[in-house]
Amino acid sequence: MQTSLTVPLALVVIFVLKKIVDFRNAAQATKNLPGFRVVWDLFGVNEIMPRIRGIMFGGDSALQKHGDFARFGADIYSVVAAFPKVQTTLMIADADILKTITGSRLKFPKALETYGGLSFWGQNLVVSEGHEWKRFRKISAPAFSEPNNRLVWQETINVMQDLFDNVWGDKKEIVMDHALHLPFTIALFVIGAAGFGKRMSWNNVEAPPTGHKMHFQDAMEISSANVTTKALFPGWMVGLTKRGRNIQLAFEELEKYMLEMVTEGKMSRAAGNTRHDLFSKLLDASESDLTGEKKLTELEVISNIFIFLFAGHETTAHTLTFAFALLALYPDEQERLYEEIVKYLPGDKLPTYEEANSMTYLTAVINETLRMYPPVVAVPKRAAEDTTFVTTTHAGDRLSVPVPKGSILSLNFYALHYNPKYWENPHAFKPSRFLGDWPRDAFMPFSAGSRSCIGRRFAELESMVVLAMIVKNYKIAVKEEPQFAGETLEQRKERLFQVTFAITQAPVRVPLVFTKRV
């Protein structure tokens, strides 16, 4: 009996000793850069995991912002973990280092293992690197064109007018227990029209078309709202519940719709028809020989267009919700924005694409919202070779950090946006900081470099139209609730800006009232 236990016990001892040695070597490889030493760290799901001292690094970015960096006295610190493998992660909030990383795609490639769950139908722009990424980028880029920008602008106006005329109508007050529902639906309709060429209705009562069990609008809405579920859990587990089976059906129906759209798009192109929605433009670029790249397969087309759907829908909806809440909390800023809007849009005048860049305070409000609540709080890269980062500590001393090959580099945009080195009073909502000169290298809500968000202008234009039309016609205020009577501004701010993290950052609950201006 004693002999039978000796071998496995010896193996356990050897395993533990090797872990200890590897762990110590990993820490020493960065000259023991201050930071966290933990048993477990799984980058990619950190933000939804708790932080347990010495055990798990976890999330907490929403609470910490730049706090961890202030604690360690520099805009770079380390996280060394023992499991699931010994791994060093460098957390970074230094604008110069981030610019170096985002400017060198080959030296600092994306850590693709954290994005595997987003390849539902195969490879796409987000989950690829190397030549495959270049191929997808080259084919996708023409879709985000000036004609599509104009289409986004006009379709957003159409959606907002439909909302005002046929949903809100003559109501003097619209009360929302959670305002996310409003921009969530608006963004869905805009991406439906400008992304897929399919207009949708606020009052969807039509039966699904022949051959379908779910309407396109419902399939889009359910799929977009449940990307995290689809990405993190295996199909058999999702299918255990009625809600899960409905999610699976939505993804199946959306795939069927998109495959039909591929066939229709090819026929339309063959007939010489010109359309400017993203789906049609992506098909055009893939089918033509102008890019010099291999055509996208049907599954690659729908995989990429779904990534555009998810990125363009969820992130825009969350940003607009945060913007509504900030304007409600700071009525003076809302009034200043209103004054600019009515200056450019007097009477019944609608926003014009040509004036988009003229409304500088509107742009400043959107930028300040993105600074304070970036859609993606961090992006993982990997060091493809040994290198060294140089920064300055908060005490003013030069700090040289060795970066071993294979290290994970966490580009912490949240901390960057709250770094007092670049932003005066970073916790304050001050859109005016974006008027005149401002630290552009310290603002990365859409990442930066060659892998920055390809749909940035799409999201910006949509947000501009929605905010301009809402603020012109309605005052936004926080919904008064008896249980929160007497709370201070800081308490109210803390309540309204509770967030959850999955793939993107989302508000938990934002109760607002929209009152029609007279």
Report the alpha-carbon distance of residue 68 to residue 90 in Å, rounded.
Answer: 12
For 24, 173, 174, 181, 501, the CA distances from 317, given in Å and listed in that order, are: 44, 21, 18, 8, 15
Q: Which pLDDT score, from 0 to 100, does residue 48 have?
A: 63
Report the alpha-carbon distance of residue 413 to residue 65 in Å, rounded.
Answer: 9
Indicate if the pLDDT at residue 115 is higher than 90: no
pLDDT digits over 122-153, tens only? 788 888 888 888 888 888 888 888 999 999 99
Report the alpha-carbon distance of residue 428 to residue 488 in Å, rounded.
Answer: 15
Q: Whole-prediction pTM value?
A: 0.91
**If you count DSSP H runs as helices and E runs as strands, how many of each does the chain have, helices first?**
19, 12
Indicate if the pLDDT at residue 249 is higher than 90: yes
Best-predicted range by mean pLDDT (56-65, 183-192, 391-400): 391-400
Which residues does 295 contact at the CB level (< 8 Å), separation at least 6?
A: 286, 287
Indicate if the pLDDT at residue 318 is higher than 80: yes
pLDDT digits over 426-481, tens only? 999 999 999 999 999 999 999 998 888 888 899 999 999 999 999 999 999 999 99
HEC sequence for 157-206: HHHHHHHHHHHHCCCCEEEECCCCHHHHHHHHHHHHHHHHCCCCCCCCCC
- Radius of gyration of the chain measured on its C-alpha atoms: 25
Helices marked H in 29-82: 61-64, 67-72
Q: Is 453 annotated as a binding residue?
A: yes
Q: Which pLDDT score, from 0 to 100, does residue 47 have?
A: 61
Domain with CATH 1.10.630.10 in the chain: 134-379+416-516
Poorest-pLDDT segment among 37-46, 183-192, 251-260, 348-357: 37-46
| Mean pLDDT, all residues of the chain | 89
Of 1.10.630.10, 3.40.50.9100, 1.10.15.40, 3.20.190.10, the CATH number of 134-379+416-516 is 1.10.630.10
Are 467 and 323 spatial neighbours (Cβ–Cβ below 8 Å)? yes
